[in-house]
A and B are shown apart, each in its own frame.
Chain A
Amino acid sequence: DQQVKQNSPSLSVQEGRISILNCDYTNSMFDYFLWYKKYPAEGPTFLISISSIKDKNEDGRFTVFLNKSAKHLSLHIVPSQPGDSAVYFCAAYNAGNMLTFGGGTRLMVKP
């Protein structure tokens, strides 16, 4: 049973526009969420996180929104840049301190 789902395997956006990556989860015990960015042949790198007590966290061009009632989070990138092209994974922590990853969304930002 996939507890963290990223239903869009890929997303294509024009440079300068907004990229919105979505993530849904089923486990109500998750209390901390993270987004990771991954380039080919590299390990994932941390991008931004949000605690379940918040509904928004912003860091430069990146904003993560959390809707606990809908068990949904999203990552907004604005403006999108070609260098943002990568695979993005959302991940969630539960009380056991284990990270559960979604399947990833490949973002392509076209110049």
Chain B
Amino acid sequence: GAVVSQHPSWVICKSGTSVKIECRSLDFQATTMFWYRQFPKQSLMLMATSNEGSKATYEQGVEKDKFLINHASLTLSTLTVTSAHPEDSSFYICSAPSDRGQRGYTFGSGTRLTVV
């Protein structure tokens, strides 16, 4: 089945540094990938839609200069949290549409970011 690999699974960084999170579709091509952030009260918030070969589409309220998204190939999208602050600490999840039928989106395993 479709697999989305997300790395790293957890990362701790200092305030002011940048962190890159990778999302790869392993056995299918993904022209579109989605980046979510999960807040402590469990809801999944769509941050942006990553489009291969073009600019990402950001949801309202998401700072595009802070959360840089690059979708350079059909199997790789990256999210870079720039100049990270403690309030950026969260659980970030990527996903890709795999099959409209049974599967819907396939999700990565998520990245726990802690900014100290």
Contact = CB atoms under 8 A, between A and B. Distances in A.
B75 interface: no
A101 to B, nearest CB: 5
Interface stretch (B64-72, B78-86, B89-97): B89-97
Contacts of A9: 41-42
Contacts of A103: 41-43
B7 interface: no
A41 B95 contact: no
Max chain B CB contacts within 10 Å: which of A32, A43, A45, A106? A43
A34 interface: yes
Contact of B95 (A43, A97, A104): A43
What is the interface residue range for chain A against chain B?
20 to 34
B100 A32 contact: yes
Interface of B is mostly: strand
B104 A43 contact: no
B102 to A, nearest CB: 6
B50 interface: no
Given A43-B6, A43-B93, A104-B42, A91 B104 contact: yes
26 contacts: A9-B41, A9-B42, A32-B100, A32-B104, A36-B107, A41-B9, A41-B91, A41-B110, A42-B109, A43-B4, A43-B107, A43-B109, A44-B93, A44-B95, A46-B106, A49-B104, A87-B42, A91-B104, A93-B104, A97-B97, A97-B100, A98-B49, A99-B104, A101-B46, A104-B44, A106-B42
